[in-house]
Amino acid sequence: AQTVTQSQPEMSVQEAETVTLSCTYDTSENNYYLFWYKQPPSRQMILVIRQEAYKQQNATENRFSVNFQKAAKSFSLKISDSQLGDTAMYFCAFTFQGAQKLVFGQGTRLTINP
Amino acid sequence: EAGVAQSPRYKIIEKRQSVAFWCNPISGHATLYWYQQILGQGPKLLIQFQNNGVVDDSQLPKDRFSAERLKGVDSTLKIQPAKLEDSAVYLCASSLERGRQFFGPGTRLTVL
């Protein structure tokens, strides 16, 4: 079975600081994809960043980057120069080739303080 | 490009009543998903459609939940009869085949 674990229920940092959210996953699949989604209070799930497992290079999207450690089955999200608008629930998610459905972790509530 | 539309945004019902949610995916998206998100948890897939056929409904409580996707476009998710534990946000998402999923704003259901 595929599982995703986020061990940090809540995190809080000051604006402009860097914060790292942790995620581990378990799968026997070889071809899979990992995602970080942001869910603000509006409930709209927004894709932050995506990583293909076959790619060794870590994905980056502006202030967002990941540290993908395939052997350790770890996929952490780093947010640099955090902004008030980054305040949201963050979900790590996984899918494997052929399945398409997303398996989500429990989420980390991130608060950026002014 | 219009996003995934869902209605209603909020619904409050009493237990044992029935309720239906509607989803209109992004035009041209063949795959449609319904997820259930219980408060404090990540979303869990209830059912996945490819056009108007069911791909995965392994976690759909079929004794009370049903879903259909007529003509491979809009979809409705129904609960009958509702239980207290069905209180959750119901998220609809759509994608091109094997593509990125786009989510709707969700319907928050409260069962009293």
Using an 8 Å CB-CB cutoff, list chain A residues near B100. Answer: 47, 50
- pLDDT for the residue numbered A97: 75
- Residue window 10-39, chain B: list those with CB within 8 Å of chain A: 31, 33, 35
A45–B103: do the CB atoms touch at under 8 Å?
yes
Confidence check: pLDDT of B83 > 90: yes
B103–A44: do the CB atoms touch at under 8 Å?
yes
Confirm or reject contact between A91 and chain B (CB < 8 A).
yes
**How far, in Å, are A11, A64, B60 from residue A7 at the CA level?**
11, 20, 27
Lowest mean pLDDT among A75-79, A102-106, B98-102: B98-102
- pLDDT for the residue numbered B1: 63
- pLDDT for the residue numbered B22: 97
Closest-CA distance, B38 to chain A, in angstroms, reads 10
**How far, in Å, are A84, B74, B104, B111 from residue B5 at the CA level?**
27, 10, 6, 23
A43–B55: do the CB atoms touch at under 8 Å?
no
